[in-house]
Chain A
Amino acid sequence: MTMVNNETRNQQLQKPQIIIGMASCGLGAGARNVLKSVEHELKKQKLEADILHTGCIGMCAHEVLMDVIFPGRTRVTYGNVKTTMVPQILEEHVGKGEAVKKFVMSQMYLDDKTVIPYEGLPFFDDLEMNKGQKKYILRNCGYIDPDSIDEYIARGGYTALEKVLKAMTPKAVIDEISKSGLRGRGGGGFPTGEKWASCAKYSADEKFVLCNADEGDPGAFMDRSLLEGDPHAVLEGMIIAGYAINATSGYIYVRAEYPLAVKRLKHTIEEAKKRGFLGENILKSGYNLEMYIKEGAGAFVCGESTSLQNSIEGKRGMPRTRPPQSVEAGLWDKPTCLNNVETFANVPFIINKGADWYSRIGTENSKGTKIFSLTGKIKNAGLVEVPMGTTIRQIVFDMGGGIPKKKKFKAVQIGGPSGGCLPEPLLDSPIDYESLVGAGAMMGSGSFVVVDDTTCMVEMARFFMNFCANESCGKCPPCRIGTTLMLDILTRITVGQGEEKDLEVLEQMSDEMKVMSLCGLGQSAPNPVKSTIRYFRDEYIAHIRDKTCPTATCVALHKYEVIPEKCTKCQACIRNCPVKAISGSTMKVAFINKEKCIKCNLCYEKCNFMAIK
């Protein structure tokens, strides 16, 4: 068994290091080809360097990211790396220690700050998208090789576990977490300390600690990034939770759609076991904990706690009525404590920094930071971690860089199918559990999908309802039938067959489903509908009464036309029309032949001047 060792790897750096982001987002952008090309070029140019793989640093829009550390110098990040850029970077930076400035995004100090920075390069924390962020929970993502337990330890990993096992009673741990004000990051926002305390008070021959890594919300990927980028932090948090409630085994329920995360977790558990952080007699404290991975099988409802437990037991993942609460009789009817990935990742940080320090971050009732996955029509898509209470405007315009292509911000959909769409007038509202619920959205898992003025909100509501109708487990009629009927109505509206009374019916059904559904899926399924009716009623009315779709998204309703005053004769629409229905030239305004037009909407999307209606 090795003890925790805080020596940093960078102090002993002998040769240059090349670090490539190999999380799913990096791989999707082509990191594997960049890696191959780096390996090939190193040999060709006869250079020596260590190649390291890391998780996602959060700047997903600029993947592939490749960092170079030359001994004694700062770490330099290259963004949007293409294989064609590799030879030059290797030759000049790895070979001679001179950063290739035209490709550089930023530089950053290493842990000890004694390294020399490059002149004229911005620092990572000063980049527009990173200002205002507080990377506490993501502190290791993109910095360490997630497969290396040594690197995690070098950055202070497992010190919290050591502290807890050597110097704290389970009750003291729970008190510390309660005092910190940490609330569940899975969406509901239940106080974590309270949950642990109520689970700890039951005694049984077996007790379970569960990690909910079934991130099914479309638009959310922070759990995946944490699991792929810093799996030990999640595991450490789980072991601490296990000790606090006296759990005998733990399960990580992870989506099968995340093969890389599953692979990482398996490796992480093995490594932790080898070093004595998991298994029998952890760090000689006498505490035992076994850890298992359960791969989900593709059912959104399994993110709900009782469904998840049924799924682990090998049944259909259907929720059950409560009480009894899971903390009393959960998995196999034993006391069970279930938390989300991000919640667990907060735990070691709180133990290390102390509850007092932690509770100073955030707002009065929502403490700490929250990770959001910023996607949709936004320049800097990626992960942002901000203190609770940051406003939506800051996230969209400061960190996200605003809306691309000169289009206008329309709404942000927070919290996935269980959340809601918030419009422009709410841009300045702070993000915390209470104010989001007040505005008709929900923290949910923290997905943050930005839409611009080309997105139809009725269609958006239909999209989420379609998702919920597909994913409803079918056990309770309010959800099974409610989602289907609401989807029917919404579909009717989008094809121009809406009736005046539809809005009233939708609103009434929303309220009924919220009260009568068995689990969170059904209770929150009407949220997107309710919030869009609340903030975008005009659009519904345009669909129902005037049979038009203001954004030209609902193809069935649309007749495409060029607005002559706005047309710049750039011919983008003509080039992109698949059926050659548009005529025009550099001299003549475009014209759409309605008979040939197949309403594919491509011209509307390709037009940069909003000249097509």
Chain B
Amino acid sequence: MNTRKEQSARGETVDLSKVEKILEKYKNTRGAIIPILQMVQAEYGYLSEPVVDLISEKLNISTHEIVGVATFYAQFHLKPRGHHIIKVCCGTACHVKGAKKVLDKLSEALEVSTGMTTKDNVFTLEEVACLGACSLAPVMMVDEDIHGKLAPDTVATVIKEIKETGISGAA
């Protein structure tokens, strides 16, 4: 029962023991689906089919309901994502200060469109409504670091730096 591996329709192998640990922790909490999905996603990067099936089985909630919740919130992903997540803020302040151009430039530099992951699985480019760092607009968040006062010509440097060092220090 310790390590349980299952294959999904897509052919990926997923180690489910971590999910069981998370479920164990939340078994007595009310309304725990969202925190469970958040923790599972933090562990695997996304919500895979076998993981959702297991949660459904253990909590006795239909998979439809779980997927219904997961698709309602912008935070959950049912497809794998890259190692680094780039979230470009498109809030009002950033919009007024040219977020669109930053996004276009990133899209060009990474050769992916918004919402997609690069071929080498390193970056996923996303658009978010607001990161709450409006005074530094335009802003993007790489993993948990905020990079502010961006300009189309500086974003490429940030990406290059991350590619070279593998980590994203604040600009």
B23 beta carbon closer than 8 Å to chain A: no
Smallest CB–CB gap between A454 and chain B, Å? 9
- Which of A165-173, A310-318, A346-354 lines the interface with chain B? A310-318
Q: Among residues 115 to 164 in chain A, which have CB atoms less than 8 Å away from a CB atom of chain B?
A: none
B109 beta carbon closer than 8 Å to chain A: no
User: B135 contacts which chain A residues (CB < 8 A)?
Assistant: 25, 60-61, 63, 221, 373-375, 381-382
B78 beta carbon closer than 8 Å to chain A: no
What is the bound-complex CA distance between A357 and B35, given in angstroms? 43
Choose one: B31, B130, B132, B133; the contact of A314 (CB below 8 Å): B31
Per-residue CB contact flags for chain B residues 15-37 toward chain A (1 = under 8 Å, else 0) read 00000000000000011111101
B92 beta carbon closer than 8 Å to chain A: yes
Q: Among residues 359 to 393 in chain A, which have CB atoms less than 8 Å away from a CB atom of chain B?
A: 373-377, 381-382
Whether the Cβ atoms of A471 and B129 lie closer than 8 Å is: yes
User: B148 contacts which chain A residues (CB < 8 A)?
Assistant: 25, 28-29
Choose one: B75, B90, B101, B134; the contact of A373 (CB below 8 Å): B134
Smallest CB–CB gap between A483 and chain B, Å? 14
Smallest CB–CB gap between B151 and chain A, Å? 11
Closest B residue, CB atoms, query A251: B31
User: B170 contacts which chain A residues (CB < 8 A)?
Assistant: 27-33
Q: Which of the listed residues B128, B135, B139, B149 has the most CB atoms from chain A within 10 Å of its own CB?
A: B135
User: B96 contacts which chain A residues (CB < 8 A)?
Assistant: 376-377, 449, 451, 455
Closest B residue, CB atoms, query A528: B92
Smallest CB–CB gap between B154 and chain A, Å? 13
A306 beta carbon closer than 8 Å to chain B: no
User: A311 contacts which chain B residues (CB < 8 A)?
Assistant: 34
Q: Among residues 277 to 305 in chain A, which have CB atoms less than 8 Å away from a CB atom of chain B?
A: 294-300
Closest B residue, CB atoms, query A310: B31
Q: Which of the listed residues A30, A60, A257, A464 has the most CB atoms from chain B within 10 Å of its own CB?
A: A257
A477 beta carbon closer than 8 Å to chain B: no
What is the bound-complex CA distance between A471 and B132, given in angstroms? 17
User: A455 contacts which chain B residues (CB < 8 A)?
Assistant: 96
User: B33 contacts which chain A residues (CB < 8 A)?
Assistant: 314
Known: A299-B74, A313-B31. A219 touches B134 (CB 8 A): yes
Interface SS majority for chain A: mixed
A220 beta carbon closer than 8 Å to chain B: yes
A41 beta carbon closer than 8 Å to chain B: no
- Chain A count of residues within 8 A CB distance of the other chain: 62
Whether the Cβ atoms of A316 and B95 lie closer than 8 Å is: no
Choose one: B35, B76, B149; the contact of A294 (CB below 8 Å): B35
What is the bound-complex CA distance between A30 and B69, given in angstroms? 37
Per-residue CB contact flags for chain A residues 58-72 toward chain B (1 = under 8 Å, else 0) read 001101000000000
What is the bound-complex CA distance between A285 and B121, given in angstroms? 56
Q: Among residues 187 to 222 in chain A, which have CB atoms less than 8 Å away from a CB atom of chain B?
A: 215-221
Smallest CB–CB gap between A201 and chain B, Å? 25
Whether the Cβ atoms of B32 and A314 lie closer than 8 Å is: yes
Whether the Cβ atoms of B171 and A30 lie closer than 8 Å is: yes
Q: Among residues 23 to 66 in chain B, which have CB atoms less than 8 Å away from a CB atom of chain A?
A: 30-35, 37-38
What is the bound-complex CA distance between A329 and B75, given in angstroms? 28
What is the bound-complex CA distance between A195 and B129, given in angstroms? 30
A224 beta carbon closer than 8 Å to chain B: yes
User: B131 contacts which chain A residues (CB < 8 A)?
Assistant: 24, 257
Which interface class (under 10, 10 to 19, 20 to 34, 35 or more) fits B? 35 or more
Q: Among residues 424 to 481 in chain A, which have CB atoms less than 8 Å away from a CB atom of chain B?
A: 447, 449, 451, 455, 463-464, 467, 470-471, 473
Closest A residue, CB atoms, query B33: A314
Whether the Cβ atoms of A376 and B35 lie closer than 8 Å is: no
Whether the Cβ atoms of A29 and B136 lie closer than 8 Å is: yes
User: B133 contacts which chain A residues (CB < 8 A)?
Assistant: 24-25, 28, 221
Whether the Cβ atoms of A297 and B75 lie closer than 8 Å is: yes
Q: Among residues 20 to 52 in chain A, which have CB atoms less than 8 Å away from a CB atom of chain B?
A: 24-25, 27-33
User: A600 contacts which chain B residues (CB < 8 A)?
Assistant: 101
User: A30 contacts which chain B residues (CB < 8 A)?
Assistant: 170-171
Whether the Cβ atoms of B147 and A258 lie closer than 8 Å is: no
Whether the Cβ atoms of B136 and A316 lie closer than 8 Å is: no
User: B76 contacts which chain A residues (CB < 8 A)?
Assistant: 297
B97 beta carbon closer than 8 Å to chain A: yes
Whether the Cβ atoms of B144 and A218 lie closer than 8 Å is: no
A510 beta carbon closer than 8 Å to chain B: no
Known: A28-B136, A295-B38. A315 touches B130 (CB 8 A): no
B169 beta carbon closer than 8 Å to chain A: yes
Whether the Cβ atoms of A258 and B132 lie closer than 8 Å is: yes
Closest A residue, CB atoms, query B139: A28
Smallest CB–CB gap between A131 and chain B, Å? 19
What is the bound-complex CA distance between A220 and B93, given in angstroms? 9
A416 beta carbon closer than 8 Å to chain B: yes
Smallest CB–CB gap between A317 and chain B, Å? 7
Known: A60-B135, A317-B73, A381-B135. A217 touches B93 (CB 8 A): no
Choose one: A28, A297, A317, A413; the contact of B92 (CB below 8 Å): A413
Whether the Cβ atoms of B144 and A381 lie closer than 8 Å is: no
User: B93 contacts which chain A residues (CB < 8 A)?
Assistant: 218-219, 375-376, 381, 449
Whether the Cβ atoms of A463 and B75 lie closer than 8 Å is: no
Whether the Cβ atoms of A376 and B97 lie closer than 8 Å is: yes
Smallest CB–CB gap between B79 and chain A, Å? 16
B145 beta carbon closer than 8 Å to chain A: yes
Whether the Cβ atoms of A447 and B92 lie closer than 8 Å is: yes
B112 beta carbon closer than 8 Å to chain A: no
Smallest CB–CB gap between A407 and chain B, Å? 12
What is the bound-complex CA distance between A258 and B116, given in angstroms? 23
B110 beta carbon closer than 8 Å to chain A: no
What is the bound-complex CA distance between A473 and B74, given in angstroms? 11
What is the bound-complex CA distance between A60 and B145, given in angstroms? 17
User: B130 contacts which chain A residues (CB < 8 A)?
Assistant: 216-220, 257
Closest B residue, CB atoms, query A331: B31
What is the bound-complex CA distance between A467 and B74, given in angstroms? 13
What is the bound-complex CA distance between A219 and B132, given in angstroms? 7
Identify the A interface with B (CB < 8 A).
24-25, 27-33, 60-61, 63, 215-221, 224, 255-259, 294-300, 311-318, 332, 373-377, 381-382, 413, 416, 447, 449, 451, 455, 463-464, 467, 470-471, 473, 600, 605
Sampled A-B contacts (15; CB under 8 Å):
A24-B132, A27-B146, A29-B170, A32-B170, A218-B130, A219-B92, A296-B73, A297-B34, A298-B73, A298-B74, A312-B31, A314-B30, A314-B69, A373-B134, A464-B92
Known: A218-B129, A449-B93. 9 other contacts (CB 8 A): A24-B146, A28-B133, A63-B136, A296-B73, A300-B129, A312-B31, A314-B32, A376-B93, A449-B134
Q: Which 8 A-B pairs have the closest CB atoms?
A: A218-B91, A60-B135, A298-B74, A297-B73, A314-B31, A28-B146, A28-B148, A375-B93
